[in-house]
């Protein structure tokens, strides 16, 4: 039996056909149009093309799973708000289901990515996994005892909005001091810019001649030159990231915790200092059974594979 997974992004609609083992058999990508009807049509076309490339008929597809950013109501199959897609209170699952004549469901993209990693990436062969994606925000998802954990209202793993600095930076969610405001790529870039403003002599300026040129890699380059300002920014960032990871491990005790997103490509430069904090602070630090911290193994495909297989793991 086959499943179609669709990763609905602001730039591209990425579709793939997956079997029950999470193997990706065919993929297709089209650019994301504007407007609800056009988005539905693009999803259907990408899905059909991926089936064609996988060499299968849509009659052999059990269901379509959509992974979308923004505010989602999976119970109703609704996209409540996805500003980057121009969607506002759209019953997207029903519309795609009618167009493709297949059962269709929708899941938030961080949960779909976590499920994809569980089935076919860093969590393969384990019973539980937490996935943290460092991007514009901090996306989190968890699979516990083989089931996708969503909470009763499907918003159960919004761990990016746990407060790590009470009264700290204001967050898009309305609180202050959320983990995401510090540990996301956006949070890191903000910290680099603040440090540059106070240190005109920092090597950070060499790697980013203007504040607008700062990206998630700037501080990692500048640290290599021995620049003390960059070191201070990176240590602060790693401390904030580690704080949330220790919290997550203490609460969930997953067998694996994987970190994805652009910053995770730093590999051991990121993981080694995090492990030092875990060895010091994790509640189970003396236990023979400890959470394995690693980098996510899949990239764009995690969302497709996870979205496709949501019906099997809900």
Residues making contact with Zn ion (CB under 5 A): 161, 171, 173, 175, 178
Beta carbon nearer to Zn ion, 176 or 269: 176
* C-alpha span between 314 and 311 (Å, rounded): 6
For Zn ion, the closer of residues 173 and 272 by Cβ is: 173
DSSP letter at 291 equals: P
Asked whether the beta carbons of 87 and 70 are under 8 A apart, the reply is yes
Nearest-approach distance from CB 264 to Zn ion, in angstroms: 21
- Which regions of the chain does DSSP assign to beta strands (E)? 2-8, 12-19, 24-31, 61-68, 71-73, 78-82, 87-90, 104-108, 129-134, 138-144, 147-149, 256-260, 292-295
Which is nearer to Zn ion, 14 or 161 (by Cβ)? 161
- Letter string b/e over residues 121-137, b meaning 16 or more CB atoms within 10 A of that residue's CB: bbbeeeebbbbbbbbeb
Shortest Cβ distance from residue 2 to Zn ion (Å)? 38
Nearer to Zn ion, 99 or 175 (CB): 175
> Residue 246 half-sphere exposure, CB side, CA atoms within 13 Å?
20
| Least CB distance to Zn ion at residue 138 (A) | 9
User: What values do phi and psi take at 100, rounded to 5?
Assistant: -95, -10
CA dist., res. 80 & res. 43, Å (int): 18
We find the least distance from the C-beta atom of residue 244 to Zn ion, in angstroms, to be: 12
Q: How far apart are CA 270 and CA 191, in angstroms?
A: 17
Residue 59: CB minimum distance to Zn ion, A: 44
Q: How many CA atoms lie within 13 A of 249 on its CB side?
A: 26
Q: Which residue, 70 or 273, has its beta carbon nearer to Zn ion?
A: 70
Q: How far is the CB of 241 from Zn ion (least distance, A)?
A: 15
Report the residue number, 93 or 188, with the smaller CB distance to Zn ion: 188
Identify the bridge partners of residue 16 per DSSP, sorted by sequence position: 5, 27
- Residue 168 Cβ vs Zn ion, minimum distance, rounded to whole Å: 10
Residue with Cβ nearer Zn ion (75 or 173): 173
């Amino acid at each position: 039996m086959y499943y179609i997974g669709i990763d609905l992004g602001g730039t591209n609609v990425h579709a793939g056909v997956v079997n029950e083992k999470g193997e990706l058999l065919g993929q297709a990508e089209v650019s994301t149009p504007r407007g609800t009807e056009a988005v539905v049509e693009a999803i259907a076309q990408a899905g059909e093309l991926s089936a064609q490339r996988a060499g299968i008929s849509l009659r052999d597809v059990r269901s379509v799973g959509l992974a979308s950013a923004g505010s989602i109501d999976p119970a109703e199959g609704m996209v409540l708000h996805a500003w980057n897609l121009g969607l506002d209170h759209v019953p997207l699952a029903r519309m795609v289901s009618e167009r493709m004549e297949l059962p269709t469901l929708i899941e938030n993209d961080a949960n779909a990515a976590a499920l994809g990693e569980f089935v076919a990436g860093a969590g393969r062969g384990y019973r539980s996994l937490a996935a943290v994606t460092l991007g514009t925000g901090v996306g989190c998802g968890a699979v516990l005892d083989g089931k996708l954990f969503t909470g009763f209202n499907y918003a159960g793993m919004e761990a990016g909005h746990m407060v790590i600095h009470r009264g700290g930076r204001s967050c898009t969610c309305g609180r202050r001091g959320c983990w995401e405001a510090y540990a996301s790529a956006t949070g890191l870039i903000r910290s680099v810019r603040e440090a540059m403003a106070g240190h005109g002599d920092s090597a950070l300026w060499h790697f980013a001649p203007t504040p607008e040129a700062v990206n998630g890699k700037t501080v990692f380059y500048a640290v290599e030159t021995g620049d003390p300002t960059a070191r201070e920014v990176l240590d602060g960032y790693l401390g904030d990231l580690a704080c949330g990871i220790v919290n997550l491990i203490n609460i969930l005790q997953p067998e694996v915790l994987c970190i994805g997103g652009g910053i995770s490509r730093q590999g051991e430069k990121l993981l080694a200092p995090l492990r030092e904090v875990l060895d010091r602070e994790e509640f189970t630090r003396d236990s023979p059974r400890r959470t394995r911290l690693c980098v996510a193994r899949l990239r764009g495909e995690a969302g497709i594979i996870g979205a496709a297989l949501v019906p099997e793991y809900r």
